[in-house]
Amino acid sequence: GDSVTQMEGPVTLSEEAFLTINCTYTATGYPSLFWYVQYPGEGLQLLLKATKADDKGSNKGFEATYRKETTSFHLEKGSVQVSDSAVYFCALSDLRTTSGTYKYIFGTGTRLKVLA
């Protein structure tokens, strides 16, 4: 079945450091890929998405490129801030052939802590 694998956290960085959070997926169809962010005490919010191979999603300085050849969607940011401290979830959405609806599969989440 479909699955999403993310690097285990926590990831601890100093402010202005470069961030990479790895995400790989397995899917039977042609999924769309997402990164969601969860700030403390809140629900998940969409950070960025990509719907087909070679698409690059970007938002708030974060980027991720849909790489079909390596089945990856790694999240990157050139210079992190303390306010980026949160849990980041990689997710895919693929078509349920039985019902014709889209299913979502989430990774386990990676906690990022940025120190001033």
Partner 1 sequence: EAQVTQNPRYLITVTGKKLTVTCSQNMNHEYMSWYRQDPGLGLRQIYYSMNVEVTDKGDVPEGYKVSRKEKRNFPLILESPSPNQTSLYFCASRPRGGAPNEQFFGPGTRLTVL
Residues making contact with partner 1 (CB under 8 A)? 4, 31-32, 34, 36, 41-46, 49, 51, 89, 93-94, 99, 101-104, 106-109
The CB-of-109 to partner 1 minimum distance in angstroms stands at 5
Beta strands in 27-78 (DSSP E): 32-38, 44-50, 56-59, 62-65, 75-77
* CB closer to partner 1 out of 11 and 17: 11
Which of 28, 79 has the CB closer to partner 1? 28
- Whole-angstrom distance, CA of residue 4 vs CA of residue 34: 11
- Please report how close the Cβ of residue 52 comes to partner 1 at its closest, in angstroms: 10
Q: Give the shortest CB-62-to-partner 1 separation in angstroms.
A: 15
Question: Given the complex with partner 1, which of 97 and 101 has the nearer CB atom?
Answer: 101
Minimum gap (Å) between residue 61 Cβ and partner 1:
19
DSSP state letters, 36-48: EEE-TTS-EEEEE
| Nearest alpha carbon to residue 65 among 96, 88, 33 | 33
Three-state DSSP class for residue 82: helix
Q: Which is nearer to partner 1, 36 or 62 (CB)?
A: 36
Do 74 and 23 touch, CB atoms closer than 8 A? yes
